[in-house]
Amino acid sequence: MERSVLITESALELRDALGDGGALLGLDLGTKTIGIATCDAAWSFATAGKTLAKGKFSKDCAALSAIITERGIKGIVLGLPRNMDGSEGPRAQSSRAYARNLALALELPVLLWDERWSTASAERDMIGQDFSRKKRAERIDSHAAAIILQAAIDAMAGSAF
């Protein structure tokens, strides 16, 4: 019998599933890295974390599981890379498959959140903060994850739709 875990594109559905809140993990899934961000249990603000080198799913899952345990994470927000016209290509399909595997392996609900412009926005922010090109390259994915997570928690709070 297959286990059932919530995978949704609705911030309100995730909010309702979590009830009284709980810390969230934001992920920006790339081909070589995974940007990580977290937010507090009250969903106040997202903070960029580290960037993981993407490897085999089991290795990724073990690293994420450690963060989940350490931070008391109750749900995951995963960036969904749509095309600019809103359609979905191979990267979006890959993210959906990753979300399914992650939800089942970690037994946590997953919100798929449109990540269009998140990396460009993160880069603009980092340039504005005078990050060197090297520092931007090292941190861009975690900053993009924070932008994705912040947009989702704003929507969960009802302040953005």
CATH code of the domain covering residue 97: 3.30.420.140
Within a domain: 161: no
Q: Consecutive 10-residue runs of the chain (161 residues): their mean pLDDT?
A: 78 90 93 94 93 94 97 96 79 92 96 77 66 67 91 82 44
In a domain, 59, yes or no: yes
Tell me how far apart the alpha carbons of residues 21 and 108 are, in angstroms, rounded to a whole number.
Answer: 13
pTM for the predicted model, two decimal places: 0.86
Residue 1 maps to a domain: no
- Residue 88 domain-assigned (yes or no): yes
Whole domain around residue 119: which residue ranges? 7-40+49-156
For tokens 């929507």, name the residue. 155
Q: Where does residue 42 rank: exposed (0-12), middle (13-18), buried (19+ CB within 10 A)?
A: exposed
Is the distance from CB of 25 to CB of 64 less than 8 angstroms? yes
Rounded to an integer, what distance in angstroms lies between the CA atom of residue 153 and that of residue 158? 9
Tell whether 85 is covered by a domain: yes
Q: Structural domain tally of the chain?
A: 1
Residue 147 lies in a domain: yes
